């Protein structure tokens, strides 16, 4: 496996590349141009500038997360072809500078959703929390306003431009059920995957987070059967997965079993843990298997069994040692660094046998 770390860019992330350099085993930075809105063409100058910053610090730029998919593509509107053309051109530009894998998602309206960003845990740390009853009762616009008030940084998928049109977008989704969303995803894949094959850049879809419908919006990349259906939409190795253990772990998915079924299509994996409660709530926990509901040791053992050569990164951890005062919610330095040491510890142990 090739270890990576997600970084939000200079001036946009309190964590520095020099900090990341001190975490053992990190080879690559998972990057993006975070100020680009979905549907915007990425400029070659900006891509090259970011490449230089990352490579000068001694990391590879192999993985981009994310290139966001415009809502019109997900909704299947007539304007989608224009946005798919732009998406394809961005992919070509990324391939040209050596990017190997692009992570993206096909979640309607929202990226990952939580009801609380700094829920206190027993040990004094805090973490992202999802309280199911709150989601059932609250108006989504109210939730966004409450959450955005508490953070000074923009969270991925919660950009102001997108949130400004929230009411209108919700109206549009009234005509888009899950079957329609599948059709729109297939249309998108049929256009982009031949280009990916031609320029050798692999696509990895990120599962929906949480892995169940919220606010009455359809969500489709949520379990093994749907993942298998997804891979058949365009049955080509370039159409693959960014398998996120935390997202899939927010529902009762057997992740090692999913890896057994689809390991040859996993290009990127997020190894993290969440603790699920019986009432449907969940909280981000440490990466350790016994701290959450995902058997992270078995996940790593299963990857090892198939001699996994793809990219891996730790994902949302807790905020510890006071870093919630400065770190981006879910993307602190310390617990992700501890996560890396746990993942590599299990991996090295398997290698030594």
Q: With both helix axes pointing from N to C terminus, report the angle between 334-351 and 296-305 in degrees, rounded to the nearest 10.
A: 50
Which phi and psi angles does 127 have, rounded to 5°? -155, 165
> How many angstroms separate the CA atoms of 70 and 93, rounded?
18
Question: Are 27 and 65 a contacting pair, CB within 8 Å?
Answer: no
Strand order of the β-sheet with 274-276 is 116-120, 126-130, 282-284, 274-276
Q: Closest approach of Cβ 48 to Mn ion, in Å?
A: 27
* Least distance in angstroms from the C-beta of 105 to Mn ion: 9
Q: Own/partner pairs for 320-325, CB < 8 Å, 24+ apart? A: 320/125, 324/118, 324/126
Measured CA to CA, the distance from residue 2 to residue 313 in angstroms comes to 8
Tell the smallest beta-carbon distance from residue 117 to Mn ion (Å): 16
Active site residues: 206, 244, 270, 315-316, 331
Given a contact cutoff of 8 angstroms between Cβ atoms, the answer to whether 242 and 217 are in contact is: no
Least distance from Mn ion to the Cβ atom of residue 242, Å: 7
- Provide the β-strand partners of residue 28: 4, 60
- Compare residues 95 and 205 and give the one whose CB is closer to Mn ion: 205
3-state class of 38 per DSSP?
A: coil
Task: Kindly tell me which of 83 and 311 has the beta carbon lying closer to Mn ion.
Answer: 311
Half-sphere exposure at residue 338, Cβ-oriented, CA atoms within 13 angstroms: 15
Cβ distance to Mn ion smaller for residue 83 or 331: 331
Smallest separation (angstroms) from Mn ion to the CB of 65: 8
Q: How far is the CB of 259 from Mn ion (least distance, A)?
A: 15
- Residue 18, Cα to own-chain centre: how many angstroms? 23
**Comparison of 93 and 114: residue with beta carbon closer to Mn ion:** 114
Rg (CA), the chain: 19
- Cβ distance to Mn ion smaller for residue 80 or 249: 249
Question: Taking the complex as a whole, how short is the minimal distance between the CB of residue 89 and Mn ion, in angstroms?
Answer: 26
What is the helix, strand, coil percentage profile of the chain, to 5? 45, 15, 40
- If the CB atoms of residues 284 and 315 are measured against Mn ion, the closer one turns out to be 315
Of residues 62 and 72, the one with the C-beta less far from Mn ion: 62
- Closest residue to Mn ion in the complex (CB): 244
Residues at the interface with Mn ion (CB under 5 A): 244, 270, 315
CA 149 vs CA 111, 163, 225, 310: distances in Å: 17, 13, 38, 38
Q: Which DSSP state fits 247?
A: H
């Amino acid at each position: 496996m090739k270890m990576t770390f997600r970084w939000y860019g200079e001036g946009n992330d309190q964590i520095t590349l020099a900090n990341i350099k001190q975490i053992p085993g990190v080879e690559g930075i998972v990057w993006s141009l975070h100020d680009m809105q979905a549907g915007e063409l990425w400029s070659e100058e900006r891509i090259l500038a970011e490449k230089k910053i990352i490579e000068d610090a001694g990391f590879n730029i192999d993985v981009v997360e994310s290139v966001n998919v415009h809502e019109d593509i997900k909704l299947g509107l007539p304007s989608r072809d224009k946005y798919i053309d732009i998406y394809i051109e961005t992919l070509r530009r990324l391939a040209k500078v050596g990017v190997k894998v692009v992570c993206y998602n096909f979640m309607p309206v929202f990226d990952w959703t939580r009801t609380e960003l700094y829920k206190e845990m027993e040990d004094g740390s805090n973490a992202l929390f999802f309280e199911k009853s709150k989601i059932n009762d609250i108006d989504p616009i109210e939730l966004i306003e409450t959450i955005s008030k508490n953070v000074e940084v923009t969270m991925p998928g919660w950009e102001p431009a997108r949130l400004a049109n929230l009411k209108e977008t919700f109206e549009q989704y009234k005509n888009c059920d899950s079957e329609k969303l599948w059709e729109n995803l297939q249309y998108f894949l049929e256009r982009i995957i031949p280009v990916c094959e031609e320029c050798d850049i692999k696509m990895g879809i990120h599962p929906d987070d949480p892995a169940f419908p919220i606010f009455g919006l359809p969500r489709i990349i949520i379990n093994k059967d749907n993942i298998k259906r997804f891979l058949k939409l365009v049955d080509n190795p370039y159409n693959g997965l960014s398998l996120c253990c935390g997202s899939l772990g927010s529902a009762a998915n057997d992740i090692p079993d999913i890896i057994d079924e689809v390991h040859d299509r996993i290009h990127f994996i997020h190894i993290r843990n969440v603790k699920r409660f019986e009432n449907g709530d969940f909280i981000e926990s440490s990466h350790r298997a016994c701290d959450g509901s995902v058997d992270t040791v078995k996940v790593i053992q299963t990857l090892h069994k198939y001699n996994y050569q793809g990219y891996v990164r730790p994902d949302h951890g807790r905020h510890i040692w006071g870093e919630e005062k400065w770190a981006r919610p879910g993307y602190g330095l310390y617990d992700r660094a501890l996560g890396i040491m746990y993942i590599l510890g299990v991996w090295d142990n398997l290698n030594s046998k």
